[in-house]
Amino acid sequence: MHIDPHYLWREFLRPIILAIFVVLIFRSFFWEPFRIPSGSMEPNLLVGDFIFVSKSRYGYGPFSVPFLSVLMREDIRNGGERLFGKKPKRGDMAVFRKPNDSSDILVKRIVGLPGDQVRIVGGVLEINSRKVERQRESPTLYRETLPNGASYRIQEAFGDNASQDNTPLYQVPNDKYFFLGDNRDNSLDSRFLDNVGFVPYNHLVGPVVRVWFSIDSNKSFPFNVRWDRVLSSTKTIEAKTTSLSRDHVQKESNKENNKESNLGALASDGR
């Protein structure tokens, strides 16, 4: 049986190569998918979330587009410049390459910009000597609102006296950023200067813009799919978690009221 090579190329090989090329372009310059492997960003990003990161939002650097470092001038590659560069915003959830090990990819939240002074006192974040607004929503959850209005939930699993709830004062260098995990008592982030520390501008990959799929590994298919998170933007997820936390607070309040009612009944009964 004779197979025409032109037919093979036209009908099979060319479409496959074209599809691979389109995927590579999409991943390199627009949105790149990542999977959340740990709970350091709970309650906003969950273990098993599949996220999209915008490559164009901060412009293109040597760690957002791997082959770009070969084409960039050395002074740009080693400095704080990016092609079509845009500065990150305080409060962005962003993916970056670990400064002392670029093979390690992390996702945290930007709280400190270049030149800022950052510290945590009694679990409360302070930026440039001003306490960040924090509203309690449940025994372990708070809503934190940064000076620019960015608002999101954080988790304090062990209260406000864990090992990193009281830190020294950090002076963020030029062209570097200070990152924190939303799960404050279970996050390896910029508070650990000998591990993560300050993150250079060029090490940023991009901000998290969407959760496109999510799986709960503790359940079996099809019940393991978190359908309410599929194709959700990060803002939508934070809006949903707000309503959920309010429901939780109401339940906790109802429990406390029931306890008080029961105690009152016992007291009136002479017990």
- Catalytic amino acids? 40, 108
Mention every residue, 6+ apart, whose C-beta is less than 8 A from residue 107.
34, 36, 40, 41, 45, 51, 93, 94, 95, 96, 208
Sole residue written with tokens 């799986």: 215
Angle at 133 between CA 129 and CA 138, to 5 degrees: 140
Q: Is 167 exposed, middle or buried (0-12, 13-18, 19+ CB in 10 A)?
A: middle
Distances (CA, A) of 264 to 66, 116, 250, 251, 252: 67, 52, 21, 20, 18
Give the torsion sign (CA, 262, 265, 266, 267): positive
